[in-house]
Structure 1
């Protein structure tokens, strides 16, 4: 039987060893996935708010992800991605027609556009294979109405975190710990349901 992979796809400043990606990756590993962290290398400074730099960052991240994705990436795999990683993960799935599952932490506006294209190409039933987490104080994607309405339009599971920034963190550590547990509980159920493993 082919091994299922969990691709851990970081953001520009949010690395694979930070809490959301690290612990969700551990959950996937415990569910039987082979954990495959993706690296992007260094991005140029000042990407946020600069459309040209964002475009270059997207191209860099997309190319790096494609270099590290195996040729046999399949619908049994899962992408656990953050920020710009959400956009390039969906783009890779779209272009290669992988049909994988996706956990999207703090997607960008561009992510939601690619998500629509993915569902148009692969079918609306794919919405059940995708979940979105968005912080209501996300400085990289401040248009909460856009994120929530497009997630609703796409029919994907959508979770908001009150007062949370682009790292899904607030100014209160204890609140963050509680939020992290709630997020991981959702992710564990999502991963368990789709791995066929009930030992989490």
Structure 2
């Protein structure tokens, strides 16, 4: 097996939504095993409007920890974590907690993700994100020599009523994965 990709969803942003679905599809085509991480059905009804989600982050970590522990990461040549929003915190924490050598691709990280961002990761965010101010994120990435890519749109990196721009954004994100 060439490699493993774990997909870490966000709150109300499943692995079937564009920012996780298309990277998963791309990596499957490259021969990677792609595994969605689950936080349980309790996340199906959670809302996220910039409120404190510390409890949700902890619940997600506890729920998925046995899943993450059961993987034999050493049996793969390459391990990649692709995460979205709340999932960026869980992915960063998992890498540290389990001492996993992996590439991190953080899609629209939230404030609690910042301590996990390091030089080897890639950050992709919306230029109008209301969850984590893009100026703060860009400055943090620049100060820590982290690869940063900003795209039109908010926290979902989508521009409402503009399918053409959204498709171009997905295409550009997939191109970044090919590097």
Q: TM-score, normalised by structure 2?
A: 0.88
Unpaired segments ≥5 residues, structure 1: 120-126, 190-200
CA distance in 1, matches of 2:50, 2:82: 24
Are positions 1:183 and 2:173 aligned together?
Answer: yes
Are positions 1:111 and 2:101 aligned together?
Answer: no
Superposed CA deviations along residues 32-85 of structure 1, whole A, max 9, x for unmatched, are: 21110111122364443322xx01110111122312113422472110110010
| Matched residue count | 173
CA distance in 1, matches of 2:151, 2:175: 14
Q: TM-score, normalised by structure 1?
A: 0.80
CA distance in 1, matches of 2:2, 2:29: 14
Q: Is the 8 A contact 1:91 1:114 kept in 2?
A: yes
Aligned to 2:72: 72
Q: What is the CA distance between 1:174 and its match in structure 2? A: 1.0
Aligned to 1:56: 55
Q: Is the 8 A contact 1:90 1:114 kept in 2?
A: yes
Aligned to 2:154: 165
Q: Which runs of 4+ in 1 moved over 4 A?
A: none
Larger helix fraction of residues? 1
Matching of residues 72-91 of structure 1 within 5 Å:
72-74=72-74, 76-91=78-93
